[in-house]
Homo-oligomer: A and B are copies of this chain.
Amino acid sequence: MNRNLKVILAYCGTNYHGYQKQANAITIQETVENACSKIFNHKAWIHGVSRTDTGVHARGYCFSVETVSQIPCENFVRAVNTLLPEDIAVLSCEEVSEDFHARYSAQAKEYIYKIYCQRQRDPFLNNFAYHYTYPVNDELMNSACKKFIGTYDFYALCNNYKADIKKAENTIRTIFDFNVKVYNNIRIFTVKGDGFLYNMVRILVGTVLEVNEGKIDVNDLTDIILSKDRSRTGRTVPPYGLYLNKVFY
């Protein structure tokens, strides 16, 4: 009897060439698929909720996978964690209906982006947060975040030179919430939406930072979104501050 499993995963992306399988480079997908295949005793194909780029992390990634194995979910979690390297961990597993697909069943996703604000570099945050040395105005940044909440064509907020974002593709998305909060000298941007375009979260954060830096006027943001002009939005901040935090089904 075929079973369909929904699995929640956390990983530190530092040592991987992103999520998606590719030749000649170690990826999350390949590493997890190999571990699953060993446990199931047959080749497993895992269906991830989305790709993540090199260096990007995940705290609550979701994949689904079909198997004929009858291993109980709890045992699967224990077994797969003994096979996985220490920078990847399966957090939970449950059996779901055959209709469930990690990617197509997702209703919303939440990403966080961490920046740390101090003059000195911190060797321990190196792979985990973006070192940001401009003085920060949290109120202004939160005002900027608010401007992106809603349903828009976010063409100006994606790196559309990539082959997988074609002009014809639907670039309309809904952002439900977007804010930045202070935890000591770390700021955490949290954005929740029904989907995100290529590099969209990193450009959202980059644009808010450029508002903070006085390079973009907060009152122009709506116009800028509507212009669909990538040259008017901010830079793509580095991948290592980004975490796929949670997927909603």
Contact residues of A with B, CB < 8 Å? Answer: 10-12, 57, 81, 86-89, 91, 120-124, 126, 128
Contact B81 A121 (CB under 8 A): yes
Binding site secondary structure of chain A: loop
**Residue A89 contacts which of B11, B81, B122 (CB distance < 8 angstroms)?**
B122
CB distance from A74 to the nearest CB of B (A): 11
Q: How far is the CA of A205 from the CA of B120 in the complex (A)?
A: 31
Complex CA gap A120/B124 in Å reads 22
B12 adjacent to A124 (CB under 8 Å): yes
Cβ contacts under 8 Å, A12 to chain B: 123-124, 126
Chain B residue contacts of A11, Cβ below 8 A: 123
Q: How many copies does the complex hold?
A: 2
Task: Kindly list chain B residues whose C-beta atoms are within 8 Å of the C-beta of A126.
Answer: 12, 86-87
Bound together, the chains give a CA A10 to CA B81 distance in angstroms of 32
- 16 new A-B pairs (CB below 8 Å) besides A81-B121, A86-B123, A91-B120? A10-B122, A10-B123, A10-B124, A11-B123, A12-B124, A12-B126, A57-B124, A81-B120, A86-B121, A86-B126, A87-B126, A88-B123, A89-B120, A89-B122, A89-B123, A124-B128
22 A-B pairs (CB sep. < 8 Å): A10-B122, A10-B123, A10-B124, A11-B123, A12-B123, A12-B124, A12-B126, A57-B124, A81-B120, A81-B121, A86-B121, A86-B123, A86-B126, A87-B123, A87-B126, A88-B123, A89-B120, A89-B121, A89-B122, A89-B123, A91-B120, A124-B128
A120 / chain B contacts, CB cutoff of 8 Å: 81, 89, 91
Inter-chain CA distance A10–B123, complex, in Å, is 7
- List, in ascending order, chain B residues with CB within 8 A of A57's CB: 124
Q: Which of A57, A88, A89, A124 neighbours the largest number of chain B CB atoms within 10 Å of its CB?
A: A124
Contacts of A122 in B (CB 8 A): 10, 89
- Minimal beta-carbon separation of A175 from chain B (angstroms): 26
Q: Which of A10, A87, A123 has the most CB of B within 10 A?
A: A123
Q: For the complex, what is the distance from the CA of A57 to the CA of B125, rounded to whole Å? A: 13
User: In angstroms, how far is the closest chain B Cβ from the Cβ of A37?
Assistant: 21
Instruction: Write out the residue numbers on chain B whose beta carbons fall within 8 Å of the beta carbon of A88.
Output: 123
Cα A91 to Cα B124 with chains together (Å): 13
